[in-house]
Amino acid sequence: MTVYFVGDIQGCYSELETLLGKIAFSENNDQLYVAGDLVARGPDSLATLRLIKSLKNSAKIVLGNHDLHLLSVFHGLKKVKAQDKLSALLSAPDAEELLGWLISQPLIQKLPGEETYMSHAGLSPEWTPKIALEQANIAHKNLISPELKYWLKHMYGAQPTSWKNATDEVSRFRFTINALTRMRYCHSDRSLDFKCKENLTNAPKQLSPWFDFQHIDDNTQWLFGHWAALMGQCQPNNIYALDTGCVWGHHLTILRWSDKRLFTERAHKIQR
């Protein structure tokens, strides 16, 4: 079995299909870990969801902020963002089935038998992997419960930015969603910033990327997407950035885990 990781697909179905062909992906023998944000601004979110869902157990997905927003739209809590191309998906005959499958996906995936984890945005500097997994499991249980709409409604907002201020169930849920799906930069007190999306050169001096604060040990690996401006570059070397901005005209990246080889597909010239 070969394990692969893919960064943010964002509806870039054509590039994904080409890349799976390049690596001769076999749904019987291989596994594809998908770093979240399967949908939104790319040309074909519907085909992307259908393809990943069809891979069944050979696809291991985490939810991203765009996936969660789509679920809020589907449940009537939010409007589609102007730039998102989601109308074909939302009006598809299998929309309910696809989005029921999507909501049942976790916020963190851990590779069996090794200390390797994946979430959409990363690991809060205030958390160990153990705390992150515990909180991700609690949030996941809320999202698959009959109170799904209550939790989606309370998911929005930037507070608390610090785990130590997450003192009740709702604020712990919101912090968990924000840390695992929206985080990029942190302040010097390790609290989360949600405004800056710049690359490391252009960021304000008072902000540092979350992984600058992380002290996971050398035997632990963390993989994440969400941050296209990094273009796959980050330190330290047991942290892996997977989003290489295919939807922004750059490329889609698949990482083969056994030898860390990267496979890339340049964004296809499709009307976006």
Question: Which residue in the shown chain puts its C-beta closest to Mn ion?
Answer: 226
Q: Which window, 14-22, 64-72, 211-219, 250-258, contacts Mn ion (CB under 5 A)?
A: 64-72
| Comparison of 25 and 120: residue with beta carbon closer to Mn ion | 120
Structure tokens at 200: 């490391």
# residues near Mn ion by CB under 5 A = 4
Least Cβ distance, residue 203 to Mn ion (angstroms): 17
Least distance from Mn ion to the Cβ atom of residue 227, Å: 8
Query: Shortest distance, CB of residue 2 to Mn ion, whole angstroms?
Result: 26
Candidates 57-65, 79-87, 126-134, 233-241 — which segment interacts with Mn ion by CB under 5 A?
A: 57-65
Q: Measured over all CA atoms, what is the biggest interatomic distance in the chain, rounded to whole angstroms?
A: 49
Q: CB neighbours (10 Å) of residue 132?
A: 23
Query: What gap in Å lies between CA 58 and CA 30, rounded to an integer?
Result: 6
Contacts with 137 (C-beta within 8 Å, 6 or more apart), sequence order: 106
Query: For residue 221, how many C-alpha atoms fall within 13 Å in the half-sphere facing its CB?
Result: 16
CB of 251 to Mn ion, least distance (A): 17
Give the whole-angstrom CA distance, residue 190 versus residue 132.
15
- Compute the Cα dihedral for 256, 261, 262, 263 and give only its sign: negative
Residue 64 near Mn ion by CB under 5 A: yes
Give me the least distance between CB of 200 and Mn ion, in Å please: 18
DSSP 56: G
If DSSP codes are grouped into helix, strand and coil, which group holds residue 185? strand
- Of 60 and 120, the one with the shorter C-beta distance to Mn ion is 120
Check: CB of residue 76 under 8 Å from CB of residue 99: no
192-251 positions binding Mn ion, by CB under 5 A? 226
In the complex, least distance from residue 225 CB atom to Mn ion, rounded to whole angstroms? 7
Is the CB of 43 or the CB of 122 nearer to Mn ion? 122
Binding region for Mn ion (CB under 5 A)? 37, 64-65, 226
